[in-house]
Structure 1
Amino acid sequence: MVEAAVIGAVASAAAVEAYKDGRMTFSYIKEQLNIAKKMDSSYRNLESEVKKLRARRDDIQAEIDKDLRLVATKECEVWIGKVKEVEKAFSELEARYQKEKRKAGWKLRLRSRLKITDKLEVLCQDIQNLLGEGKFEKVVVERIPECVRIIHAPNLKGTPTLQTIVGDILDFLRDEGINRIGLWGMVGTGKSTIMQNLNDNEDIGKMFDIVILVTVSKEWSVEKIQQTIIQRLKLNVEGITCMNEIAWRISEELKKKKYLLLLDEVCDTVDLHLVGVRNCEKNSKVVLATRYRHVCYLMNTDEEIQVERLPDADAWNLFQEKVGRYINLPGVKPVAQLVAKECAGVPLLLDRVARTFRKKDNIHLWRGGLKKLKRWPSVRIPEIDEMLELLRFCYEELDGNDKKKCFLYGALYPEECDIYIDHLLECWRAEDFIDTSANLREAHDSGHTILDDLISVSLLEKGQKMGYIKMNKVIRSVALKISRQSKDTKVFVKTCEGLSEPPNEEQWREATRVSLMDNRLSCLPENPPCSKLLTLFLQRNPDLGRIHELFFQSMKMLRVLDLGDTRIASLPSSLSCLTSLRALYLKGCVNLMEFPSDIKELKNLEILDIRCTGFHNFPIQIGGLICLKCLRLSLSSFDKRSNVPKQIRNVKAICDVISRLFSLEELTIEVESCMWWSEAGKAVAEKVATLTNLTNLNFCFPTANCLAAFLGGGSSWNRDEFVFQFFVGDHQSTQLHIHKYFEYPVHQYLRYANGDGVDHYIIEVLGKTYAFELIGLKGVSKISDFGINSMKNIRCCIIKNCNELTTLVDGTITNDSMLPCVEKIFLCNLPYLVSIWEGPTHMGSLSQLATLTFHSCQKLKKIFSRSMIQQLNHLQYLIVENCSEIEEIIMEAENDMLESCALPKLKALTLVDLPLLKSIWVDGSLEWPSLDRLKVHKCGKLLMLPFTKDNANKLRSIEGEEAWWRALIWKDNAVQERLHPICAFV
């Protein structure tokens, strides 16, 4: 019973416990189910709120995207950022929720679900709060302008010339002293490409707060330019119509920014003050691109860069790039090179022609295309007619018919040839394009003004040689087309084509101007019908030996005749029919022995050039040309030493003729080293001095006494406008070698050769001299002995073979500035020169010196004396060659207090054959802010360069031997790594 009772009690207790356990299990399961339901409910609530949030976000984003000119408010941007964070949190929480849902069985962790539920509820509350925050009064505002609006400019990789210009402009933009930069050049040379590359340049984006590119169209106006700037600045000027008020708004906005304004295709002067671009504050800049140089000047640019045609290598690279794969077809490349050459280095034309030829997939099409291209513009080629119209527009914009005629006249010369400016201007005057009532000097000045205007609008360009200009083949083609379409004038031009036959009768009849220069003509028609002919160019036909007696009979209107460098032995009698002739050129007619007796019938002849002809006796017939204003002759063929009486007769004839030419304004008498001239020169000089209208004289004075005879013999020399080229002393030639050194027209030029001591008359001429050449001087140790005041106007100085010269200037003789205007000094073969300056360098001395050259000065030890270097703020080129004693370019002992900004404009340093040179400068303390090129050759002891990581930032080229480069010692390897890529080994 007891056991039964115990068992019953135990069973009862067990039942109670089991009941309790069952209740607990049931409660646990129930609680799990409730938590699961709550988690699901919380998730569904959260999911619903997320949908609402996303819908609100999408509505707001649609409002933002509706107008690209508007941008979200800062408040709205922050809210959208919070939405992104919430979405990320929801995604993470949703993943945890789904994972929890997938767990099986009853052994689920209550704590885990509770945590998820809590997070769901918290996130739901956050979203509800965010929905409340998302009720904005203003969703968008006007977009703040971006710093740079990238326009994906054409790549300049294949055109280093244009890359260099971009680099130069970047350098100017970094210069705080430069605010406005002008870019000018002919149509199609790549100005717009440069401007677009500036806009996209990464460095530009770092330098400025905003870059504004404005294309100024032909129909430009201040209002249109303002509108472009307003749009770029995102200015609200709605309802404002007053141009001045808009300008003020622009000005006020720009004051807040460091800006770069790029003005492309500027056709005329733009008053930026009226636009609202008033002061370049915060180092802001303006760059303008124009076809016309004068626009740069009128818009007060601080620097101007001419964009010239591409060199052949760049043009070929660009053409290949534009054509693409067909350039590599068999046989195409040689033809393609000829096609590219026809484009004359003009990028726009290269692009248009390349577009045409990239469609040609065989050699036959290429050859046909080249043939057609050579006939342009007489044959229409639609792809490049744009170029023709642009150039025609430049022509039409020329003010005045005379200027247009002057431009068209340039097409008479061969394509791409250098045209001698004096010849061109004289022809213009002879054709009445410039004032014929003025004297030659005034007419020359007027002609230069027109010439400068034509260069300024890029219709002409400067030639390779000093005193020459050229017309590129594209512009020449346009000029010829315009001339041929003219009703008033007809031209017949066949130059450099190897012609052996002259034009036919019909071509002569219609022509007003005929140019057949540089051909192989051996004969001319007997009596061509050309009553309208004004200009006839036959020069440089070396096979032309005879002209028929009646050839000129119908040319009564002819104004200009050039027979230079032909083999004619005589002039026909019909020359006397040329009663309207004003300019006659016979230079280089070495077989021409005499003039016809009736040359005096040329009553209107003003220009006569008979240099290098075959005359053995002076042509006294010249004395009958009473209107002659300019005479050029050479006396080399008169040197018959075995017949002295003949030379005396020649001298008397020269003097007699000169005395009769009372209208003469310009006279050139070239003389080689002739014994008879030493005596005759004085008599001729005295007679020349009596010419009262003379304003231009090119003359060889065999001695200083002969010069004295001229200076004291008349009033011409004392005129302010008197122009001279004087050769004093024993000369081997009167050719102007100074053109190799000096790029300006050489007026007021003196060459003094093989003199002895300081001569008073040389000092007098020096006072008016701009370019001075001193050769073989004896008895003088320094040129300052000629007098400091007499050398104040010198701009170029060349000194050669003066064996007693030890220095140029002694600074102790005066307290005034010395050589204040000199721009170039060339010192050659001066065996005892030890310095160029001794003593103090007074303020203003050498202040304009840009080029300094030493060659074969074997005793030279120092270049820059104490204090001298501080005056050289304009020095750009320093060349030191074959000077065996030079150890330092800038001597430390002479310049121990040298400022870091010394030589601020030095661009190029050339050091050649200096065996003892050890140093350019002792350390890296100089800035070298403008140095662009360094050339070192045969300088084996120069083992260190004065460069650091921070100086010489514009250095782009180091030329030298590879062995020299490897031997250099570097204090910092980073400097070597920086400079190695710009090395070119020779």
Structure 2
Amino acid sequence: MFEMAISTSGAIAGVMSCLCTQNYLYESLAKQFRHLRRPKKNLNKLKSLMEELVARREDVSSQLEQMWLQKGMKPKIAVELWLKNTEKLTSEVSGLIRNIEQGNTSADSFSPRYFFSRIKLGENIEKKISEVVQIIEKGQFSDDSMVETSPKKGYTLPTARLMQHGTTMESLILIWELLLNDWVKKIGVYGMGGVGKTTIMSEINNRLLKENRHFDCVIWVSVSKEISLEKLQKAIGEKLDVDLSKFQDETTRAAALFEALERRGRFVLILDDLWEPFSFERVGIPILTSENGCKVVITTRKLSVCRGMETDQDVEVRVLTDSEAWDLFRDKVGDKVLALPEIRQIAKDMTLECMGLPLGIITVGRALRNATDVSEWEIALLELRASSINIEQMEEAVFSRLKFSFTKLKDDTMRSCFLFCALYPEGHLIDANELIEYWMWEGLLGRVGRTSASKQKGKLILNELRYACLLESVPENGMECVKMHDLIRDMAITIMTADTRWRSIVKAGIGMTKTPHIDEWEEDVQRVSLMRNDLKNVFVGNPPSCPRVTSLLLQYNYFAENMPYDFFDFTQGLMILDLSYTGITLLPGSVSNLENLRALLLSNCWNLRTLPSLAKLIKLMALDLSCSRNIRGLPHGMEHLCNLRRLNISNTMIQALPSGLLSTLTLLEELLACNALDFQVPLPSTNDTVRIEEVISASSLSSLELDFWSSELFDMYTKSGHWVQLDKFRFNVGPGDLQFGVLEQRSIAFLGVSVTPESPIIIPANTIELKFCDCHDITQLTSCLLNAEKLKKCTVVCCYSVESIVDPAHNDLSMLETMVLRYLINLQMICRELVTASTLTSLRIITVEYCPNLKYLFSGHLLLQLLNLEEIRVRHCSSMENLTRWEAGGNIYAAKILLPKLHKLRLEFMPKLKEIYKGFISFGSLHSVEVISCDALKRLPFYLDDAVGIHQQLLATPALEIKGTKYWWDSLEWDEVSVRQSMQSYFVELPMVSDHVGSSSQVGADDA
């Protein structure tokens, strides 16, 4: 193709060069036609550059892997972005080259259209050459600029309020003293189940994270009764961010774990609820010595485990004394009830029945809180005393006390909801939303109308179970989770084994490789949980007959073999079938006959390609196919699913829905289709697939997740006003393929689209989170943020043309809590000078990184408004000289700024930064100031209030740390000598290193 055009192109280019000597237009044309002269040469140059780029990418990836294995260092955000952009550009160039080399010469190869296409092709080649050259130059990383230097020290755990005096506090103090004793390396903490061992160690874990003198790393691992050596290794590895799944044998896992722990310096490893002793060497735990300062603490119910672990010192956590037990019981029941004399004595007797066990006292006390009926208390005491206590171990007696709380639940519906929690593995964090949905699908929440109403009822039940202390709340990564104490779970499983009303098979998370024997699949079984095991098949031989089973939870199993075709012929009462995260390749045809099925969950089934007909499943409420990437189309019979509330096809190959389908699914509330459906810019209706107009017409939708591949399509949707009816949404706008992870409930991500004042994008007013990535033509975001009245988080990444973010004269961003700005090359200012009282008043966190033209962060007037600011982080802003600029005419020294909630200030790699603020700032909650490679900064704006020294001002926050190099600290200038003397005790020295531009810097202790 190239050769055929060379001779002709040479002649034409020669003529054009004669015509272009005087006229600018002709010069432009000559510039265009030169692409016809040497297309093959430029193509070869592009190939050569791509080989260099690919080699550089492999070198960087290999270097990152080596630095991770040797030192546990993670890549910096800039390096990850470079790798992502490199991969994207490689794909684009490969596609361009492939299209050129596979192109065919048409018969009309000398037509004007042909030459213009060749010119366009040449332009594309030159453009890609320029892009490849630029990205190669950006990829010249030094070792220091590639990786983060400080891993996270540990994780803060939720914990209950401890009594300030008594047995529990004595145990805590003793354990703390042993941790600080150089001669004690292994500590055993033992006591019966529910006595408070985990609560004490959770408090110690959190205290260790706050202090920085003794240990570099705190590692908490929850063990369990059924844990194997391999699972223990992987559990420790997960806490160290080390993936051990690729190692097949015990020895190599131990070696990798050994290296990872050695890298962490002085560590404390807490192994909670250990049931059997194990060898440190086999696991990969380094030898504990006085020199390395490392410690291991185990909690267990058995003293024999401590002895088997050869602990240096053991601490028994004893039950509460009678007076301590009474104080705890009073706290849970409430003094208002105990003020009644006739109840007070009964309450004391009930406290004695709980045998000083905190877990028993709490559950019984909560069950009777605010109960003022004397007869209710008398009956409760008789029930406790009448409970059968076959004491072989003391904790068995506690079962009856725990079961008392179960029987006190108000009805069987609530009891059934509670027992469902025990279907999860021991110690598992249960997603509260998922749990409530299971209850709803099993029919425990009554007749289902709107899903939101049913979930609200579920939340009330969940709160009752928490209130009764049968479940505990554990927040996890922004998710609402609950957890069962292992003793309470044991009690629940005992009930489900003994009582025919609740009969269940529970074998979750115990490493099973074979399904339970057919004798266990009795006809009265109601629930079966085999989740999170290593099952290769569901059943061998004839399927069991379980007509009453309502829930079959099989998620997270390998399943190399498919289920028998007739398996579900014997489970006709089934309501929930969960096969998510399994390797099934085919769903049995008998699924088509499950007319009572309400939830079919097939998320992340990596081998699944097709489904049988669902036409008979008229009660189905939820169909989840998300991330089952081999599924290319919906199953037959979708139009008959008149009760369907949720359809999740995100991250599948399903690109279109049949036309008219949404209008038949009249109860559909959730349509989740990110990275799936491909809606086009509106065209005349020429096909039989769903178009955006049909989505707009779906009046029952309350949750919507879609990709809009063009801003025109997104504008068409937003102008329809359909989003007003949505409770939550997630929209990705633009042709980009960047991933943002988990977004907020009402979020929009703009990827590579054009945003100009002439073509503003309408933002739904109830948007919580906005992300702009690689968007062009943006100089400031006023046109985008105009309607975002409830916006809480705004992130702007790689939008090079942005000059300012907010014009407060035209925006009400009083709800904005978090602002993140990265790689904004032309950013001049955050906010224009005019500031209204309602602008940015809720801002809590601001992060600004890699904005080389940003001269200052705040105006003085703006900073006066930021009373809720909690964290400021600014890094790699090479032109910044002042963090805060006071506008002309203002008296900078008279303006004392109050930031009562600011607890963290971090400034990194800004060699020109001279000042934070010329006046004074009063910090009420400051915990951390970290200055890294900002050697020109000579003054800290601490406020000295008349005769009250800064030391007295900060007594309420003794955890304050000011981190930096000694060189920087010694160079600081102070308004008064007394201030420096007072602040000296808060200084923490960081070592000198050399950053990627060669200036002195220091390594931070926490690169959050």
TM-score normalised by length of structure 2: 0.57
Task: Summarize the Cα distance change of 1:975–1:589 in structure 2 as closer, same or farther, 3 Å threshold.
Answer: same
Are 1:702 and 1:728, in contact at CA under 8 Å, matched by a contact in 2? yes
Counterpart of 1:514?
528
Greater relative contact order, per chain length (Cα 8 Å cut-off, separation 6+): 2
Alpha-carbon displacement from aligned partner over 1:918-937 (angstroms, at most 9, x marks no partner): 333447x4331101123333
Letter in 2 for 1:513: R
Structure 2 residue corresponding to 1:690, chosen from 683, 688, 697: 697
Q: Secondary structure at the residue paired with 2:421?
A: helix
Matches within 5 A, 1:844-859: 844-859=838-853
Matches within 5 A, 1:839-878: 839-878=833-872
Task: Summarize the Cα distance change of 1:319–1:688 in structure 2 as closer, same or farther, 3 Å threshold.
Answer: closer
Alpha-carbon displacement from aligned partner over 1:285-336 (angstroms, at most 9, x marks no partner): xxxxxxxxxxxxxxxxxxxxxxxxxxx987849999xx9xxx9x99699999
Matches within 5 A, 1:687-836: 687-711=694-718, 716-719=722-725, 722-732=727-737, 737=741, 739=743, 746-758=744-756, 764-786=762-784, 788=786, 790-811=787-808, 813-814=809-810, 818-836=812-830
Are 2:390 and 2:396, in contact at CA under 8 Å, matched by a contact in 1? no
Shift of 1:571: 1.4
Q: Secondary structure at the residue paired with 2:501?
A: coil
Q: Secondary structure at the residue paired with 2:420?
A: helix
Task: Summarize the Cα distance change of 1:556–1:821 in structure 2 as closer, same or farther, 3 Å threshold.
Answer: same
Alpha-carbon displacement from aligned partner over 1:15-39 (angstroms, at most 9, x marks no partner): xxxxxxxxxxxxxxxxxxxxxxxxx
Q: Does 2:668 match 1:664? A: yes
Distance in 2 separating the partners of 1:393 and 1:919: 64
Q: Does 2:599 match 1:583? A: yes
The percent of aligned pairs where both chains have the same amino acid is: 22
Alpha-carbon displacement from aligned partner over 1:234-256 (angstroms, at most 9, x marks no partner): xxxxxxxxxxxxxxxxxxxxxxx
Structure 1 residue corresponding to 2:477, chosen from 462, 465, 487: 465
Are 1:319 and 1:354, in contact at CA under 8 Å, matched by a contact in 2? no
Letter in 1 for 2:921: L
Shift of 1:843: 1.3
Counterpart of 2:907?
911
Q: Does 2:533 match 1:546? A: no
Task: Summarize the Cα distance change of 1:878–1:454 in structure 2 as closer, same or farther, 3 Å threshold.
Answer: farther
Letter in 1 for 2:840: L
Distance in 2 separating the partners of 1:658 and 1:596: 20
Q: Does 2:947 match 1:934? A: no
Alpha-carbon displacement from aligned partner over 1:534-590 (angstroms, at most 9, x marks no partner): 111111212434111111111111111111122222211211232111000111123
Matches within 5 A, 1:25-36: none
Are 2:867 and 2:901, in contact at CA under 8 Å, matched by a contact in 1? yes
Structure 2 residue corresponding to 1:406, chosen from 417, 442, 446: 417
Alpha-carbon displacement from aligned partner over 1:196-231 (angstroms, at most 9, x marks no partner): xx9xxxxxxxxxxxxxxxxxxxxxxxxxxxxxxxxx
Q: Secondary structure at the residue paired with 1:889?
A: strand
Counterpart of 1:20?
none
Distance in 1 separating the partners of 2:502 and 2:626: 32
Matches within 5 A, 1:284-363: 316=270, 353=301
Are 2:715 and 2:762, in contact at CA under 8 Å, matched by a contact in 1? no
Alpha-carbon displacement from aligned partner over 1:40-91 (angstroms, at most 9, x marks no partner): xxxxxxxxxxxxxxxxxxxxxxxxxxxxxxxxxxxxxxxxxxxxxxxxxxxx
Structure 2 residue corresponding to 1:978, chosen from 957, 961, 985: 985
Shift of 1:389: 6.7
Shift of 1:690: 2.1
The count of corresponding residues between Structure 1 and Structure 2 is: 650
Q: Secondary structure at the residue paired with 1:427?
A: helix
Distance in 1 separating the partners of 2:821 and 2:415: 45
Counterpart of 1:626?
642
- Which range moves more in the overlay, 832-841 or 417-426? 417-426
Counterpart of 2:426?
415
Distance in 1 separating the partners of 2:734 and 2:989: 48
Task: Summarize the Cα distance change of 1:361–1:610 in structure 2 as closer, same or farther, 3 Å threshold.
Answer: closer
Task: Summarize the Cα distance change of 1:683–1:457 in structure 2 as closer, same or farther, 3 Å threshold.
Answer: same
Q: Does 2:493 match 1:480? A: yes
Distance in 1 separating the partners of 2:665 and 2:677: 26
Structure 1 residue corresponding to 2:437, chosen from 404, 426, 440: 426
Counterpart of 2:832?
838
Q: Does 2:588 match 1:572? A: yes
Task: Summarize the Cα distance change of 1:523–1:908 in structure 2 as closer, same or farther, 3 Å threshold.
Answer: same
Distance in 2 separating the partners of 1:897 and 1:726: 47
Q: Secondary structure at the residue paired with 1:808?
A: strand
Structure 1 residue corresponding to 2:612, chosen from 592, 596, 601: 596
Q: Secondary structure at the residue paired with 1:749?
A: strand
Q: Secondary structure at the residue paired with 1:766?
A: coil
Shift of 1:634: 3.4
Shift of 1:155: 6.8
Matches within 5 A, 1:941-952: 941-947=936-942, 948-952=950-954
- Which range moves more in the overlay, 532-541 or 675-684? 675-684
Shift of 1:881: 2.2
Shift of 1:470: 4.2
Letter in 1 for 2:735: D
Alpha-carbon displacement from aligned partner over 1:692-738 (angstroms, at most 9, x marks no partner): 3222111111123323444566x85443x5432222222315x6535
Matches within 5 A, 1:255-266: none
Are 1:356 and 1:383, in contact at CA under 8 Å, matched by a contact in 2? no
Are 2:495 and 2:502, in contact at CA under 8 Å, matched by a contact in 1? no
Counterpart of 1:127?
none
TM-score normalised by length of structure 1: 0.58
Shift of 1:514: 1.4
Are 1:567 and 1:589, in contact at CA under 8 Å, matched by a contact in 2? yes
Letter in 2 for 1:918: K
Q: Rg bigger for which structure?
A: 1
- Which range moves more in the overlay, 881-890 or 412-421? 412-421
Distance in 2 separating the partners of 1:412 and 1:879: 44
Q: Secondary structure at the residue paired with 1:670?
A: coil
Are 1:673 and 1:732, in contact at CA under 8 Å, matched by a contact in 2? no
Distance in 1 separating the partners of 2:558 and 2:692: 35
Distance in 1 separating the partners of 2:706 and 2:417: 31
Task: Summarize the Cα distance change of 1:826–1:980 in structure 2 as closer, same or farther, 3 Å threshold.
Answer: closer
Alpha-carbon displacement from aligned partner over 1:126-166 (angstroms, at most 9, x marks no partner): xxxxxxxxxxxxxxxxxxxxxx99879527557789x9xxx
Are 2:792 and 2:818, in contact at CA under 8 Å, matched by a contact in 1? yes
Are 1:864 and 1:891, in contact at CA under 8 Å, matched by a contact in 2? yes
Shift of 1:821: 0.8
Structure 2 residue corresponding to 1:504, chosen from 510, 517, 526: 517
Letter in 2 for 1:435: G
Distance in 1 separating the partners of 2:309 and 2:736: 62
Task: Summarize the Cα distance change of 1:332–1:711 in structure 2 as closer, same or farther, 3 Å threshold.
Answer: closer
Distance in 2 separating the partners of 1:391 and 1:187: 15
Between structures 1 and 2, the one with greater helix share: 1
Letter in 2 for 1:467: M
Q: Secondary structure at the residue paired with 2:653?
A: helix
Shift of 1:478: 4.5
